[in-house]
Structure 1
Amino acid sequence: MELLWSNKVLAAKDISKIIKEYIGWEKNTTYTVIKRLIDKGAVKREDPGFMCKAAISKRTVQAIETKVLLNKLYNGSLSTFLNEYLKNQDLSKAEIMELQRIIGEQRF
């Protein structure tokens, strides 16, 4: 998905070559993953040339994965996550002020 988000459209054969170089997957493995992503609606296939493009934005995937993580590890509680995470961090004054600004901008 990172390849498609950064390149917009790539031929499956090019994706396969890049993945082979960086991860070591064979062409069939890469094509299987692409097919699964198409079946899940995350990737669109365009012909001719088996051109692939992302059908879902990175931001959307991040939001979904964040929600899954919060549900799995913190029973869906953002405040519990933030409390646990932040108490183990050494935040600068600037970082604390930025977090306060972000929270202050939230609509109630």
Structure 2
Amino acid sequence: MKDTKLAQSEAKFAELVWRNEPIGSGELVKLCEKEFNWKKSTTYTVLKNLCEKGIFRNQDATVTSLVKKDELYGGESRRFVEDTFGGSLPRFLTAFIGSGKLSQRQAEELKKLIDEHREETP
């Protein structure tokens, strides 16, 4: 994957592919016309760009993903935290939560995630 930063139109397109894959390229053109009012050439241009980025593959007129949604957005999120908060997840969470409060359920989910991903100490 060369560049995983998606433009808004690319992200909408990617969501459509992920929801419908594997999908024939002809069917994808019809869906994009219906969903986004795109012409055939626009669909193929966006598809070509995302194939060049290594996110999708169009082989034998069938479009499939090479990168799953969670993998793509997980990478973007990690880069955002790195670039904006110096890689500090606590600083990011503090900014994200702001002066708001977490529900009991949200706090429990975060604790569970932390426990599942905590590094083992010798």
- TM-score of the alignment, normalized to the shorter chain, above 0.5: yes
Q: Distance in 2 between matches of 1:86 and 1:16?
A: 41
Q: Distance in 2 between matches of 1:67 and 1:41?
A: 19
**1:1-108, aligned counterparts within 5 Å?**
1-47=14-60, 50-108=61-119
Output the amino acid matched with 1:82: L
Which aligned segments of 4 or more residues in structure 1 are displaced greater than 3 angstroms? none
Q: Deviations over 1:52-83 (max 9, x none)?
A: 11111112112111122223432332221111
- Structure 2: any 5+ residue segments left out of the alignment? 1-13
Output the amino acid matched with 1:41: G
The offset of 1:88, in angstroms, is 3.4
Q: What is the root-mean-square deviation in Å for CA atoms of aligned residues?
A: 1.7
Q: Distance in 1 between matches of 2:84 and 2:104?
A: 28
The offset of 1:92, in angstroms, is 1.6
Q: Percent identity?
A: 29
Please say which of residues 92-101 and 26-35 is displaced more in the overlay: 92-101
- Structure 1: any 5+ residue segments left out of the alignment? none
TM-score, length-scaled by structure 2: 0.75
Q: Secondary structure of the equivalent of 1:88? A: coil
Q: Distance in 1 between matches of 2:40 and 2:32?
A: 9
Q: 1:20 to 1:77 in 2, by over 3 A?
A: same
Q: 1:107 to 1:72 in 2, by over 3 A?
A: closer
Aligned residues: 106
